[in-house]
Amino acid sequence: MVILILKRLGIGLVTVLAVSLIIFLGTKILPGDAAQIRLGQEATEANVAAFRARLGLDKSYPEQYVYWLADFVRGDMGTSLASDVPITKLIAERYENTVVVASLTAIIGVPISLALGILAAMFPGTLYDRVLTLISVSLVAAPEFFTATLLVLLFVFALNVGNAVVVGSIEGKGIVELILHFALPITTLCFVIASQLIRMSRAAVLNVMSSPYIEMAILKGVPRKRIILRHALLNAIGPIVNVVALNLAYLVTGVIVVEVYFGYPGLATLIVQGVQTRDYILIQGLGMIFCLTYVVLMLIADIAAFVSNPRLRHPK
C-alpha cells in the first residue's frame, strides 16, 4: 500500500513539473509584450527595458523558469503585471466563490448522480433505465452555456424565480442561503457532472455484474439489490471514484463558461482576465493551482480505490 502511494506521488510530482514547464512556455508564446502593455504605447524603449529588467524578463528562459518555480514552491506567486497587486491577494478575493460553488455542487450532485446510476444498474433495460440513459446522453451533448440558458429562461423568465446574474456578498450566509444565492450555477454544474457520473456508475456496476462470482451469487438466489450493494459496488468503486475526482477537478478548474455566464467572480474568470491583459505571472500562478488541485484529487481517488478493492493492491 505504501509503495503504491509513493509511486502515485512520484507520478504526481512528475506531472506537476511537466505542467509547470508547459505553462511557463505557453505564457512566453502569448502575443504581445507584458512590459509594453503595462507601460503603454507611449513608453520609451529605455523605460520598457528597465521594466523588463525589474521583472527579470531580460534573463534567459531557463533562468526565468528556475526562479519562478522556486518562488512558487516558497509560496511567492509574484505580483500581477496588470494591477500591481500580489497574486495571492487577487486569489484570496476570488477563491471563495469558486470553492463554495464547487463544494455545494459536489455535495448535492455527486450523491444523487451515483444513486441514479446504481438504480439504473439494478433495473437494466427497464423504462427507467432507458429514460435515464437518454437524459444523461442528452446532457453530455449539451454545452454548459446552453444548459444555463435553458435554466434562465425557465426559472427567471417563465417562473420569475432567481436571478440571471449572481450578485451580492456571501459573507455570513448559511448553507441554505448559499444554495439559494448560487442556485442556477449549482444546478447547471449538477447537470454537467450528472451526465457523466450516471453513465459511468451504471457501466462500472454492470461490468462487474458479468463476473463469475456474481453469476454464482445469482444462482444461489441472492437478491439483486444485495448483490449490487454488497458485492459488485466495492469492485466497481475504482473507476467510479476516478470519474468523481475528475468531475471535482472540473468544478474547480473548468467552470469558466458558468462563471462568465452568471457573472460571479471566481478563479476561472480571473485567469481569463490574465490572458486578456497578458498578465503571465497571474496565468502561471493559477495554472499551477489548477494543476495541483487535479493531482491531489486524483491521488485521493487512487488511495480510495486501493482501500476499497484489495485486488488493486495485489495486481497479477
Task: Count other C-beta atoms under 10 Å from residue 100's C-beta.
Answer: 20
Q: Which of 67, 58, 82, 53 has the alpha carbon at shortest distance from 24?
A: 67
| Sequence letter at residue 173 | K
Q: Report if residue 128 sits inside a domain.
A: yes
pLDDT score of 26? 82
For residue 255, give the CATH number of its domain. 1.10.3720
235: cell is: 469492485
Of 242, 246, 297, whose CA–CA distance to 12 is shortest?
297
How far apart are the C-alpha atoms of 106 and 251, rounded to whole Å? Answer: 8
Separation of alpha carbons 256 and 271, rounded Å? 9
Is 189 inside a domain boundary? yes
Is 108 inside a domain boundary? yes
pLDDT at position 309 is 64
Residue 204's domain comprises 92-277
- 178 lies in some domain: yes
Q: What is the mean pLDDT of each run of 10 residues along the chain (316 residues)?
A: 80 88 82 67 76 75 85 83 81 83 89 89 86 87 85 86 75 82 88 87 85 84 83 78 81 77 82 80 86 84 73 61
Domain count, the chain: 1
Phi-psi map region of 281: left, alpha, beta (phi>0 left; psi -120 to 50 alpha): alpha
Q: What is the pLDDT of residue 112?
A: 92
Distance CA 294, CA 301 (A): 11
Tens-place pLDDT, residues 116-148: 988 888 888 889 889 988 888 888 888 888 888
CA-to-CA distance for 287 and 272, rounded, in angstroms?
11
Instruction: List, for residues 256-300, the tens digit of each pLDDT value.
Output: 788 888 888 888 888 888 877 778 888 888 888 888 888 888 888
Residue 303 located in a structural domain: no
Report the DSSP beta bridge partners of residue 86. 79
Can you list the positions of beta strands (E) in the chain? none
Provide the pLDDT for residue 24.
Answer: 86
Please give the pLDDT value at position 311.
Answer: 65
Position 291 in a domain: no
Helix (H, G, I), strand (E, B) or coil at 230: helix
Distance CA 116, CA 132 (A): 8
Domain contains 69: no
Q: Is residue 203 within 8 Å of 114, Cβ to Cβ? A: no
60 belongs to a structural domain: no
Q: Check residue 174 and report its DSSP letter.
A: -
Q: Give the CA diameter of the chain.
A: 85
Q: What one-character-per-residue DSSP string does 179-222 give?
A: HHHTHHHHHHHHHHHHHHHHHHHHHHHHHHTTSHHHHHHHHTT-
Asked if 282 and 82 touch (Cβ cutoff 8 Å), the reply is yes
**Do the beta carbons of residue 69 and residue 20 sit within 8 Å?**
yes
> Are the C-beta atoms of residues 128 and 115 closer than 8 Å to each other?
no
